[in-house]
Structure 1
Amino acid sequence: MAANGAPTELTQGYRTKGGIGESTLRPDGTLKVTGEFAYSSDMWHEDMLWGQILRSTVAHAEIVSIDTGEALALPGVYAVMTYDDLPTEVRHYGLEIQDTPVLAHGRVRHHGEPVAIVAADHPETARRAAAKIKVVYRELPVLTDEASATAPGALLIHENRDDHHIGHVPHPNIVHRQPIVRGDADAAARRADVVVRGEYYFGMQDQAFLGPESGLAVPAEDGGVELYIATQWLHSDLRQIAPVLGLPEDKVRMTLSGVGGAFGGREDLSMQIHACLLALRTGKPVKIVYNRFESFFGHVHRHPARLTYEHGATRDGKLTHMKCRIVLDGGAYASASPAVVGNASSLSVGPYVIEDVDIEAIALYTNNPPCGAMRGFGAVQACFAYEAQMDKVARELGMDPVEFRRLNAMEQGTLLPTGQRVDSPAPVAELLRRVKAMPMPPERQWESSEGADVRQLPGGLSNTTHGEGVVRGVGYAVGLKNVGFSEGFDDYSTARVRMEVVGGEPVATVHTAMAEVGQGGVTVHAQIARTELGVTQVTIQPADTQVGSAGSTSASRQTYVTGGAVKNACELVRERVLEIGRRKFGSYHPAWANAELLLEDGKVVTDGGEVLAGLADVLEDEAVEVEEEWRHRPTEAFHPRTGQGDGHVQYSFAAHRAVVEVDTELGLVKVIELACAQDVGKALNPLSVIGQIQGGTTQGLGMAVMEEIVVDPKTAKVRNPSFTDYLIPTILDTPTIPVDVLELADDNAPYGLRGIGEAPTLSSTPAVLAAIRNATGLALDRTPVRPEHLTGTST
């Protein structure tokens, strides 16, 4: 491998079909689009029972009593379990802070919290049994915002906190606090010619993945359990599950089953422990499948946020300072809130050069639904606010908003507010230039000579407008996202690669614990193996815990880290195969001698067939297998008072231009186009790259104009736990998404690649809001935008 991570002469000269840089098709693609793919909810086992969870009907209450008698008496019921039936003293779990009870004990802290679990011989019997469990609650006051959570005398969501964040927060109902201070923001503010302030609200969003949570637990003969589960992080699940079951980790064997999307919502546990408990209690396989209603309560959501910002600038357009305070609502349990706070604070300036900053980000404990990881977490909320600020400052200065951004854009070598220097390409100005230069879509398409198309109008097929009051708006935004786990986390992955001859042909087998959740990792791993080993046949084994951890499929890290592990293992396999070849043939096998020279002297192979023949001869009677961990360069924790530290490993950038049509009388919005320019470092699979960018863009569109979990501020109950009332974009809402891909290699990354999956979710939301503001002249300081915000009827 070249020093900068680029392919060696081997892979440049001899390009195995289906290798790095090609748009190879997904092996699961046809099955998914034809409905034949086996998701976790499709699993079946002989003599299987069905599990059901009873959830709290109130958000905050003492549990006075639980009566399970009627449920147990129902024919077909095999087990009913409450907190008191748990087998060990370990009865809580969590990603970082173990504050979440397996089943509620003493009190419930949010609407929909699991209270009891049931196993029965039919799913309807299990539901009926759960409904017969009688729980008596004594309701308590609900804490739903910062004022109520930190008020003098406020109830503590968790009375006996002992996590490592408690010493750095001003109140026990604050999960985590991260300030970042650099320079003197107050002094810089006095030098500014223009100072602009804004307060913004970002709504709670659901991951809304295709397949609700599901899994199957099968008791094993050795007293352990086999768990087949749709998740994002097998080994993190294992670490949390085994202590609750009272089993060593090697007796909890986990296998990834078909995952219907994730977006962060499967990073926390859902029914994993519940299914295993019921299987071990009954001695029978137990399957649990949430319906959509349960799914809204069964996983964490995106943190809603209040963000207060101040920016200053000189008359010639240079930013002088920034102050901000970000309040994230983490809900009843910690989940990933500390990491979300770290991201929100460290990325709150965005992709701009500002030397003097005063930043504070906190996450609250409240009685609202728990919030944790979701695509772009922390950075998404911040981007919405700082991009609105950029438009405000540009307007005050009378400058073009894109040129104002380009004037202040960071670049390679920029020193971030955390003190970390950006040491890889940061083409912010270029991305803005490119996206602005893209051709604009035609205006008033519904009036084209080819005839009216109602789908081009706001309101679409509902036919609610005919265009009399429709106004066009254009808006821009750009975002900054970190890649990989940060703040000193030991972020690594493991890959096992085996090379052998099967049927006279060399075959590579790749085994990792990476969760394929739709991002296309199984495709990329095969491409890497073909590229590094010169083979055409690659088998990807199912992900499980029989191989070392691959970490989470989140933070845009899997291609970087697990791809790096696969590449590293392939290189070691290749070296060992070459050594076997040297030992067997020396220089007597022409094809093998050629391949050996290729690696040592940079010669270019032009006849791949000869190399494959050489491989087959070398491995005719033996196989080579390597399991290797791979780590990116280390990061460090941010200082708890100043926020200084090299906290992130890599950054990604995307810019969007949104074009919208708004019916200003009815408050209807049609997003016509969301053009995107993004630097991906190296497009390992160009087709997948475009898919990731378009998918992330569409998710940002949903956040802009329709998606929000609505929580009653008086009761902390979820008002809209269904797709009837929680709206997500359909194909009719999705605009044209032209993409301009830039490839500027990061010398520290495998193949120079850059994580891509999250960046487009950042900038698409504020671009749409900017376009709507441009069309209407309204301030629009919250997301999602609703019709009443555009017609002046909101209260």
Structure 2
Amino acid sequence: MGTTGTPTKITQGSQTKGGIGESTLRPDGTLKVTGEFAYSSDMWHEDMLWGFTLRSTVAHAEIVSIDTSEALAQSGVYAVLTYDDLPTSIKNYGLEIQDTPVLAHGKVRHHGEPVALVAADHPETARRAAAKIKIEYKELPVVTDEASATADGAPLLHEGRNDHHAGHVAHPNIVHRQPIIRGDAAGAAKKADVIVSGEYVFGMQDQAFLGPESGLAVPAEDGGVDLYIATQWLHSDLRQIAPVLGLPEEKVRMTLSGVGGAFGGREDLSMQIHACLLALRTNKPVKIVYNRFESFFGHVHRHPAKLWYEHGATKDGKITHMKCRIVLDGGAYASASPAVVGNAASLAVGPYVIDDVEIEAVALYTNNPPCGAMRGFGAVQACFAYEAQMDKLAKKLGLDPVEFRQLNAMEQGTIMPTGQPVDSPAPVAEILRRVKARPLPPERQWESSEGADVRQLPGGLSNTTHGEGVVRGVGYAVGIKNVGFSEGFDDYSTARVRMEVINGEPVATVHTAMAEVGQGGVTVHAQIARTELGVAQVTIHPADTQVGSAGSTSASRQTYVTGGAVKHSCELVREKVLELGRRKLGTYHPAWATADLLLEGGKVVTDGGEVLADLVDVLEGESVEVEAEWRHRPTEAFDLVTGQGNGHVQYSFAAHRAVVEVDTELGLVKVIELAVAQDVGKALNPLSVVGQIQGGTTQGLGVAVMEEIIVDPKTAKVRNPSFTDYLIPTILDTPTIPVDVLELADEHAPYGLRGIGEAPTLSSTPAVLAAIRNATGLELNKTPVRPEHLTGT
């Protein structure tokens, strides 16, 4: 503290290298590139057993009987568990609604639901034993869409449900409903000179992380268990695991192991409880590693959606009103569906000024695979539809699609349909201007003086064309995404920071429970500590549950919230260090008592730059440690009738311009370029920022032209649970992705930063679709676009 009693501040101009605003390299980057990084699937323990999960072969059925005798008799098998072997009366779990059984009981509700567990001395032994478990099913009618879910006499997925959403939905097979009403959409429609409408279908996307689910559970001498796991939210897992095991939370010790990607697919539990149950039953360490087939059934996916939209506009291009209805398929269990509904409804208008709106979003229970969190959830599906509508309106009015969007673009001060003002920069018109102003890539790039390069053509190395029938298209899109958890959720993070002297050098240690899933948080936390504490050496402690919760690595929140917690704890540590210095060296340095002090480059200095002491002098023989929580501004739930409420903390914005070339005869698409402009508030690590934007863009490209989990509409069975049949973009499919980064600070956020990870996933998909429409003249209201959609075959 200075003499005025105000907190001592350190400027972002600190001389300490590797601080905020610098492109510092990831400490795990080289290890991952060279294959030396230890992922959760690489863990090993002496005397370890292997676990395996037996899953249902049907989507909806009564379980008539389960016979495990042959499996138990197999040599090398240590345990076989079914629902009846669960140790407590708590046998369900869930993120918000505890409707998911640890193991199926009475019936199965989706293809691939866990039914039994096996522990054996070899993974193939466990697999063979599981195949000997005899299950008799009596199949039931399947619910696969809104019509079958809400029809009179429809099978109820969860009979007698009594969760807090049940009272405001019209049918038990509706998980959650959120309307948003503002103004008078019907009255405003009468003022429109043009009205356009459309029905849109968004396919089920898989997170397709490269490291399938895995973990190691080790029984402990105190009767508890140590779980080493790849997850997105250690403390949420803990909250769900401990009651099922019948253990207090302090006896379930969780440590984050290497995570091979997440994108929302690790928010829900997969094998965590199963591994712990087997370890406690056998009193041996148990490792479970899914193969890719199991992974497709072991985690939730992106909600497929059907969306109906209507927009009106005056002849001079001002949008008069918007009506929409969004139906999200949540599958057999709730997972994050209520939050996805809230996002889809509250962001359904997009980044536009529309005073009169009528919105309804619902999520269904069906017998399809469970769906939950995935990058940009809810907002992605809505963006696909409202951006198609923007192009329809512009075309009908004879206006340029970018200029039409800019004319209606929101800005700081705009009131959202929920009644919440946008109180930070919203540079929607500017990011659209930037992507449009960028020079277009040269045409016919496959032609050169050295001969044709077929890699630049639709079809690529398959050599299907040499340019005949290839047409170029250009399309634009822009999106809005909320940052952080919303609707009154107590969204906070905890950070423990310690300063001490090690080998004659001041060192900071940062300990959080943040899940590093590839987003680069470990780098950012070290940068914050260097900036706030003026030290060069920062150690990042492994994430575990021995420190307070850091929340989930999702919702673009970790840099904002856990970064904010690290910054806050560093500030408290800094104040304690300076107080320590005043006590230890006060008579030696009179300036201690008269000046505001800074920490910079391992020195204690006055605000005028005078060096007073090394941190080593202050901290020698001492250590200073603080663990503190940090919260962003509170939010509130949306009203269940009007949808009004300050539901979100912050908004992020990205715009894309897609350039594609389409073989109109074969229906093949080559995306040449996906240019991005995005406001990030403050780029804490510019290199990581660009990587996040390019990664999110590529995921949006995937759902535009190739990614979809195919579910049989008659049986609700998954037809393509492998990377042979579920396609994701490779390096040959990924276009040039130039990135234009804006830094317009949000004064409410640490360093003015803005969450960035999800926004680019929103607008890349509709930009690609817009470009394909521009090339072909087709309406294309479904993702992904397939060759038959372009050729009519």
TM-score range normalised by the length of the shorter chain: over 0.9
Alpha carbons 2:76, 2:125 under 8 Å: kept: yes
Alignment partner of 1:531 is 2:531: yes
Paired residue secondary structure (2:177): strand
The question of 1:57 aligning with 2:57 is answered yes
Alignment of 1:184 onto 2:184: yes
Q: Secondary structure at the match of 2:54?
A: strand
Question: Partners of 2:276 and 2:742 in 1: how far apart?
Answer: 47
Q: Is the 8 A contact 1:61 1:107 kept in 2?
A: yes
The structure-2 alpha-carbon separation of the partners of 1:303 and 1:13, relative to structure 1 and needing over 3 Å to count, comes to closer
Equivalences, count: 786
Partner of 2:31: 31
Identify which range, 647-656 or 598-607, moves more after superposition.
598-607
Shift of 1:10: 2.8
Instruction: Look up the equivalent residue of 2:254 and give its one-letter code.
Output: M
1:269 aligns with 2:269: yes
Give the corresponding residue for 1:449: 449
Question: 1:140: which partner in 2?
Answer: 140
In 2, distance between residues paired with 1:213 and 1:31? Answer: 20
Larger deviation: 448-457 or 751-760?
A: 448-457
Measure the CA separation in 2 of the matches of 1:90 and 1:342. Answer: 29
User: Does 2:89 match 1:86?
Assistant: no
Task: Give the distance between the partners of 1:387 and 1:212, measured in 2 at CA.
Answer: 34
Is the 1:355–1:417 contact (alpha carbons within 8 Å) kept by the matching residues of 2?
Answer: yes
- Secondary structure of 2:231's partner? coil
Distance in 1 between the 2:472 and 2:528 partners? 45
Q: Deviations over 1:715-760 (max 9, x none)?
A: 0000000000000000000000000000000000000000000000
Partner of 1:555: 555
State the alpha-carbon separation in 1 of the partners of residues 597 and 282 from structure 2. 62
Tell me how large the CA RMSD over aligned residues is: 1.7
- The alignment partner of 2:526 has SS state of helix
Write the letter of the residue equivalent to 2:458.
P
Q: Residues 178-327 of structure 1 correspond to what in structure 2 (within 5 A)?
A: 178-327=178-327
Mapped pair 1:505 → 2:530: no
Aligned to 2:460: 460
Q: Is this contact kept in 2: 1:497–1:566, CA < 8 A?
A: yes
1:588, distance to aligned residue in structure 2 (A) = 2.2
- Residue 71 of structure 1: how far off its partner (Å): 0.1
Helix, strand or coil at the partner of 1:447: coil
Instruction: Work out whether residues 217 and 227 of structure 2, in 8 Å CA contact, stay in contact via their aligned partners in 1.
Output: yes
Q: 2:432 is paired with a residue of what secondary structure? A: helix
- State the shift of 1:249 in Å: 0.2
1: CA distance, partners of 2:216 / 2:257: 9
**Distance in 1 of aligned mates of 2:531 and 2:439:** 37
Residues 14 and 604 in structure 1, CA contact (< 8 A), matched pair in contact too? no
The answer to whether the 8 A contact 1:589-1:614 is kept is no
Q: 1:335: which partner in 2?
A: 335
Structure 1: distance between partners of 2:533 and 2:364: 50
Deviations 1:335-369 (A, max 9, x none): 00000000000000000000000000000000000
CA distance in 1, matches of 2:592, 2:361: 59
Answer yes or no: is the 8 Å Cα contact 1:10–1:604 preserved in 2: no
Cα deviation, 1:487-525, whole Å, max 9, x if unaligned, reads 000000000000000011000000000000000000000
Structure 2 contact 169–175 (Cα < 8 Å) conserved: yes
The answer on 1:664 being equivalent to 2:669 is no
Measured after TM superposition, the shift of residue 29 of structure 1 is 0.1
Query: Which amino acid is the alignment partner of residue 169 of structure 2?
Result: V
One-letter amino acid of the counterpart of residue 181, structure 1: I
* Distance (Å, rounded) in 2 between the aligned partners of 1:766 and 1:719: 26
Partner Cα separation in structure 2 for residue 765 and residue 72 of structure 1: 50
Contact 2:8–2:597 under 8 Å retained in 1: no
Secondary structure of the corresponding residue to residue 773 of structure 1: helix
Deviation at 1:596, TM superposition (A): 4.5
How do 1:346-361 and structure 2 match up within 5 A?
346-361=346-361
Tell me which amino acid in the other structure corresponds to 2:324: C
In the alignment, which residue of structure 2 is the partner of 1:651? 651
Deviation at 1:465, TM superposition (A): 1.5
**Cα distance in 2, alignment partners of residues 153 and 667 from structure 1:** 43
Q: CA deviation at 1:597?
A: 3.8
How do 1:695-774 residues align onto structure 2 when only pairs under 5 Å count?
Answer: 695-774=695-774
Name the counterpart of 1:518: 518
- In the other structure, the counterpart of 1:693 is 693
The offset of 1:37, in angstroms, is: 0.2
Tell me the distance in 2 between the aligned counterparts of 1:598 and 1:524: 21
Name the CA distance, whole Å, in 2 between partners of 1:263 and 1:232: 9
Whether 1:633 aligns to 2:633 is yes
Q: Give the Cα–Cα distance (whole angstroms) in 2 for the partners of residues 69 and 419 of structure 1.
A: 61
SS in 1 for 2:745: coil
Quote the residue 1:125 is aligned against: 125
- Superposed CA deviations along residues 30-62 of structure 1, whole A, max 9, x for unmatched, are 000000000000000000000000000000000
User: 1:135: Cα distance to partner?
Assistant: 0.3
TM-score (norm 1): 0.97
Q: Distance in 2 between matches of 1:394 and 1:290?
A: 48
**Any idea what the Cα deviations from partners look like across 1:197-221, whole Å, max 9, x if unmatched?**
0000000000000100000000000
Q: Deviations over 1:145-188 (max 9, x none)?
A: 00000000101000010100011100000000000000010000
Q: Deviation per CA, 1:387-429, whole angstroms, max 9, x where unpaired? A: 0000000000000000000000000000000000000000000
**Are the aligned partners of 1:9 and 1:603 in contact in 2 as well (CA < 8 Å)?**
no
Contact 2:532/2:599, CA 8 A, preserved across alignment: no
* SS of residue paired to 1:775: helix
**Once the two structures are aligned, what percentage of the paired residues are identical?**
87
* 8 Å Cα contact 1:10-1:602 kept in structure 2: no
Please report how far the alpha carbon of residue 11 of structure 1 lies from its aligned counterpart in structure 2 after TM superposition. Answer: 2.7
> How far has the Cα of 1:595 moved from its partner?
8.3
Matching residue's letter, 2:129: A
Equivalent-residue separation in structure 2 for 1:308 and 1:392 (angstroms) = 14
Displacement of 1:614 in angstroms is 1.7
In the TM superposition, what are the counterparts of 1:567-606 in structure 2 within 5 Å? 567-586=567-586, 588-589=588-589, 596-598=596-598, 604=607
Partners of 2:579 and 2:607 in 1: CA distance: 20
Residue 565 (structure 2) aligns with: 565
The Cα of 1:589 is off from its aligned counterpart by 4.0
Deviations 1:532-559, CA, capped at 9 Å, x for gaps: 0000000000000000000000000000
- What TM-score, normalized to structure 2? 0.98
Task: Give the corresponding residue for 2:617.
Answer: 617
AA in 2 matched with 1:233: W
Partner in structure 2 of residue 495 of structure 1: 495
Q: Do 1:9 and 1:602's aligned partners in 2 also have CA atoms closer than 8 Å?
A: no
The answer (yes or no) to whether the contact 1:93–1:101 under 8 Å persists in 2 is yes
Indicate conservation of the 8 Å contact 1:587/1:593, yes or no: no
Q: Contact 1:18 / 1:530 at 8 angstroms: preserved in 2? A: yes
Deviation at 1:599, TM superposition (A): 8.0
Distance 1:504 1:56 in 2: 60
Tell whether the 8 Å contact from 2:8 to 2:598 is kept in structure 1 after alignment.
no
CA–CA separation in structure 1 for the residues paired with 2:591 and 2:498: 22
Letter paired with 1:676: V
| Partners of 1:591 and 1:614 within 8 A in 2 | no
- Residue type at the aligned position of 2:569: A
Q: How big is the shift at 1:448?
A: 2.6
Unmatched 5+ residue regions in structure 1? none
Does structure 2 conserve the Cα–Cα contact (< 8 Å) formed by 1:9 and 1:604?
A: no
Contact 2:533 2:599 in 1 (8 A): no
Secondary structure, counterpart of 1:709 in structure 2: coil
Helix, strand or coil: the match of 2:11? helix
> Amino acid of the residue matched to residue 387 of structure 1?
E
The CA deviation at 1:9 is 6.3
Letter in 2 for 1:701: L
Q: Distance in 2 between matches of 1:311 and 1:602?
A: 60
Measure the CA separation in 2 of the matches of 1:536 and 1:599.
11
Q: Provide the rounded CA distance (Å) in 2 between the counterparts of 1:374 and 1:21.
A: 28
What secondary structure is seen at the aligned counterpart in 2 of 1:783? coil
